[in-house]
Each structure stands twice: as structure tokens, then as C-alpha cells.
A and B are shown apart, each in its own frame.
Chain A
């Protein structure tokens, strides 16, 4: 078996006395596509955000490419992470947000170039060429010079995906990428994500699109109360869930489906 690209051991996150993640052990192999499901407030987004350190875990460890991140805190306290290490980790772990978070003062292509220029120090012509290629991949070359305010939600999210891809991430994190979209725009974004899946990219996807998870994910994880409640293939978790809370969650989602 290949070495995991990413591994967490006993990952916990608390806000004050409220414990959101209660010890997550997760290994992500290269090429795996993991859909993370769970009710709102279950901790699924927090888990994702701990993996690129948008949130600093309260305890537990994260390994990326076999390397343990951070260093031991004083007196065995929480691990400490140097800014330098985190900026390097984040270059290797791309993230796509629910609210897109495009930079509104920059055109689509400048959004995609920004990481290359500022973080990787790539010269403008090379960065532009690369950004154009990423925009082509998400089908938006004709929108390159538009500001985000002139793009639809689906187009914004596709630019955001291109922005993450331009950094050549080894792992992509999608945090409910279609939850802020009008229903008719969801398809174009899921289409782009599926094409990335077909390229064999490693990705973690927090989503409410059960059908998409079923067809695209190689593994499905159901999170409840900050723990991995059930995990398995899409068939196992979505078609034949073993645990009661997974069954109840899926039943709620099916209640109003056609």
C-alpha cells in the first residue's frame, strides 16, 4: 500500500470549552477522493480547515507527505506551528471555499495569477500563461479580464478552483463548494470537480450533494459529534449504512428527493 499523502492522528479542536473535533484519525492515500458528510455543526468543515491550518488544531498531529508538521509545544502542550511552515503547507494543500472568496479588486486572471506571483515569485508572463491554462481547464478563458462582480456564482467558483489549481497542490480541499450556488449553477461546478477527479487528483470534499459523493468519491466519511462515525466505500456508507445516525442523516436527505 502506498504511503499516505496526509495523515492525522487524534486531531482535536476546541473553541473554549466547546469541543468540535474529538480525535480524528484519518489517512488520505494519493489519488483518493474522500467525501465528508455530516449534519451542520458536526465538525466536518472544521476538520477540513484544520488540514490546511485555517484553524490550528488544539491537539493531535498532522503529517503531510510523511513529515510530521509543527513542533512540540513547551511542557507537552499543544503543538506549535511556525508561520513559515504553514505558508509552505498551504501551498501544497489547496482550498476552495463555500463563498468563493475571490479577490474583488482583481480580474479573473489576476485572481488566478496572484498566488503564483506573490507566493511563488513567478514572473508575470509565465504566471499569465499558467493562469490562462487553468482558466481554460475550467472553461472560462473568455472571462479572463472580467472582475468577479461581473461573474455568476458558478463562474466565480470555477475561477476559485482555477486559482487553487495554479499553485499545483498535491491535495485539494473543497469546503461545501456548491452550497452558496443557485441550483441551476451547481452542475457546472460539480462538472469541473468531476473532471479533476478523473485526472486522479487527491481531494477531500465536504458536501451535501449525496449523489455527487456517490459517483465521484472513492471513500465516504460520515462525521457526527466531531468523530468519524462511519467510513467506507460510497456503496457501503450511502447505500448500506450500518450505524443508526448515518441512516437517520441519509433518511433526512432523502425525505424530499424525487
Chain B
């Protein structure tokens, strides 16, 4: 073990990596918002008794849960342009794949969370004269979200890490820039070490923050 680590060659390209980090944050933000909000819609539709809502939502969940994200991203990048009248950018393809996949998984989290609320909560809301929507918004969802927070945190972490899959269509994010730096300087060992550490440095505080949020929301329990 007398390998001479040389991190200087990585930090010489800090600009490129920083540029990639911005790309990672951008696609993370897009997919987090799209994935988790679309997931809520799909999850509510899965919960609906109406078959016109329920069936397509179930089909959506099963399709995106049971195909690999990597394949979805490649499909959106290469095949979707054949079907739609506009260009698909790497960001669009990757964001579509990751968001829809996250929506499918988080839909199940929402559905499970909503179903875990005691029927008595619905009854008490309805007995006061609330509409179904009011009961959902004021009584059911606030309680369900609190229970779902750990699972949704896991989803957010997954989304962050899945963003590296966007490199397969050459979207500029951390891994993609890392590959570039590694191939220019022939230093994959140091570069990928730095990339791995960068992900940890981003995610760890995020996770700690959600723990704090969980504790804050736990009031009343």
C-alpha cells in the first residue's frame, strides 16, 4: 500500500465540480418537489373509491415501481422524442425518470400514512360538518404527514442519490463532472473519493434537520 494520494489534481478542478454540484442540487430540487407532490396526488387517487381515479393510479404505481430508474431515464431520453413534438433535454429526461419513480414510491407512503389514521378521526371531522376535502386537509393529512416523515425523508435521500443516474444522459451534475475530471487528470481514485464525501456532506445535515423536525412535530403525542 504505497499509493501516493494526490488530491491537488482534484481541487485544481474545483470549478468544474462546483458546477456539477449546482446541477445536482437543481435536479434534486426539481425531483423532490415534483416527485413528492405528484406522489400525494397519486396516493390520494389510490385511496379514492372511484375506479376512474383508482385504477390509473394503481397502474402508474405498479409500472414505475417495477422498472429501473436508469432504464426509464434512457427511455425518456431516446424513445420519448419519437412520440412528442419537442426535444427532450438531458435534464428533462432525468427529472422525468426520477420524479415519476419517486412519485410511485411516495404514493405508497402517502396511501399507507392516510390509511393508518383511525376511522374515528374521519367521523369526528364529518360529524362537525366538514367536507371530505376539509377533513383531509385539516385533520387527516397533518397527522398522517407526521407519521410519514421518516419514510419521506428516506425518499428524499434516495432522490438525492438517484440524481447521479442523470449522468447516463450526460446531464451536468456531480458524478458527471467527476467522470470528466477523472478522465482529464487520470485520477479516478481521488476524484471519486471527493465525490462520495461531497454527497455525504450534503446529505448528513439534511437528515439531521429532519430528525429535529420529527421531534418538533411529535408534540402532543
Contact = CB atoms under 8 A, between A and B. Distances in A.
A27 interface: no
30 contacts: A52-B127, A54-B126, A83-B132, A87-B129, A87-B131, A88-B129, A90-B126, A90-B128, A90-B129, A91-B128, A91-B129, A95-B127, A97-B120, A97-B124, A101-B118, A101-B120, A101-B121, A103-B143, A104-B221, A105-B142, A105-B143, A105-B220, A114-B138, A115-B130, A119-B129, A147-B221, A148-B220, A149-B220, A160-B124, A167-B129
Interface size class of A (residues with CB under 8 A): 20 to 34
A225 B131 CA distance: 33
A160 B219 CA distance: 20
A218 interface: no
A83 B131 CA distance: 7
A118 B142 CA distance: 15
Contact of B124 (A101, A105, A118, A119): A101
A163 B124 CA distance: 10
Interface in A81-117: 83, 87-88, 90-91, 94-95, 97, 99, 101-107, 114-115
B125 to A, nearest CB: 8
Nearest to A167: B128
A88 B124 CA distance: 15
Interface of B: 118, 120-121, 123-124, 126-132, 134, 138-139, 142-143, 146, 219-221
B91 to A, nearest CB: 38
Contacts of B131: 83, 87
Contacts of B219: 147
A227 to B, nearest CB: 25
Nearest to A52: B127
Interface in A130-156: 147-149
A19 B126 CA distance: 24
Contacts of B221: 104, 147, 149
B93 to A, nearest CB: 40
A101 B124 CA distance: 6
Contacts of B142: 105
Contacts of B126: 54, 87, 90
Contact of A119 (B118, B121, B128): B128
Contacts, number: 70
Contacts of A88: 129
Given A88-B129, A118-B128, A119-B134, 13 more contacts: A87-B129, A97-B123, A97-B127, A101-B121, A103-B139, A105-B142, A105-B146, A105-B220, A114-B138, A115-B128, A118-B130, A119-B129, A167-B128
Q: Which of A91, A99, A104, A164 has the most CB of B within 10 A?
A: A104
Given A105-B142, A118-B134, A119-B134, A147 B128 contact: no
Given A83-B132, A105-B146, A147-B219, A99 B138 contact: no
Interface centre among B126, B128, B132 (most CB of A within 10 A): B128
A119 B129 CA distance: 6
B130 A104 contact: no
A88 B126 CA distance: 10
Contacts of A83: 131-132
A104 B112 CA distance: 19
A105 B143 CA distance: 7
Contacts of A104: 143, 220-221
Given A147-B220, A148-B220, A103 B127 contact: no
Contacts of B123: 54, 97, 101
Nearest to B122: A101
Contacts of B129: 87-88, 90-91, 115, 119, 167
A105 B123 CA distance: 16
Contacts of A54: 123, 126-127
